[in-house]
Chain A
Amino acid sequence: MSFNVIMFYLFSAMILVFSFMSITTRRILRAAVYLLFVLIATAGLYFLLQYQFMAAVQLTLYAGGIVVLIIFSILLTHHISHRFKHPDITKLIMGVSVAVIGSGITIYTILTYPFQTSTVAEMPATMENIGTQLLGTEKNGYVLPFELISILLLAAMVAAIIIAKKEKNKNSEI
């Protein structure tokens, strides 16, 4: 058993265990920290697949950015010692049954579908390839989604500032 395989099962176990704990824990800050562990283990999977740039994006944007944003919003809206109530029993039954039935069907489909693993030469995900394709306009160029996502990010930034800004009018009860 090579080291790659051991690391894969280690990361997979981390992902599954911590994502389960993240949705079942009753303390919200712990849920955020478990989410952080899930995201780091996912970055480890990307490193195993030799997509170093993707792993770096995962670590900086998800583990660095989004988790910090979530933790800040938790600190703004909750007491640290706050504990959730247990979920409703009907919601619990519904959620677990949806998850079990859906994952059962999907895993059955995955295990019966004949995947044809390709053996052609790999294109290495080097920075040079990523850069030329991300800004390329010919075949295999991704400049259009790149520009679209830049507009989306600008719109989201403006929207976040406008929504979260305090209202200035005198009648507000804040």
Chain B
Amino acid sequence: MIEGIPIQHFLIVSTLMFFIGICGFIIRRNLITILMAVELILNSVNINFVIFNRYLYPDQLQGHFFAIFVVGIAAAEASVAIALIINIYRKLKNIDVENVNELKF
């Protein structure tokens, strides 16, 4: 742990970051910016894992490993999502969420 910084300060930072991500997820229309909001959310959850590991259970590395796995899952999710976005752009010439329901058939 870091001397002089209580755990609550870290948790408040990650909470605010999480809800900024949620807010961006709701107010944005463009698929890529929605993806960026999801990255913000995943990143704040990662901070939480690492902080709980370092402050509450420093004799283990569990939170550290789960944060690494979350980073890997985020990479997989981003690559598949961007492939989908590029495919949608080829079909619709536009990547706003309102138009994606045209893919239904």
Q: Give A contacts to B, CB under 8 Å.
A: 1-2, 4-5, 8, 12, 15-16, 19-20, 22-23, 28, 31-32, 35, 38-39, 42, 45-46, 48-49, 51, 53-54, 57-58, 61-62, 65-66, 69-70, 73-74, 76-77, 84-85, 87, 91-92, 94-96, 98-100, 102-103, 106-107, 110-111, 115-118, 120-123, 125, 129-130, 133-134, 140, 142, 145, 149, 152-153, 155-157, 159-161, 163-164, 166, 174
Contact = CB atoms under 8 A, between A and B. Distances in A.
Nearest to A66: B78
B72 A22 contact: no
20 contacts: A23-B21, A23-B36, A38-B43, A45-B50, A62-B71, A70-B39, A91-B27, A94-B26, A96-B27, A102-B19, A110-B12, A121-B59, A122-B58, A133-B61, A145-B65, A155-B76, A159-B83, A160-B83, A164-B87, A166-B90
The main secondary structure of chain A at its interface with chain B is: helix
Interface of B: 1-5, 7-13, 15-30, 32-33, 35-37, 39-40, 43, 46-47, 50-51, 54-62, 64-65, 67-69, 71-80, 82-87, 89-90, 95
A92 to B, nearest CB: 5
B8 A115 contact: yes
B68 A54 contact: yes
B32 A49 contact: no
A100 B15 CA distance: 11
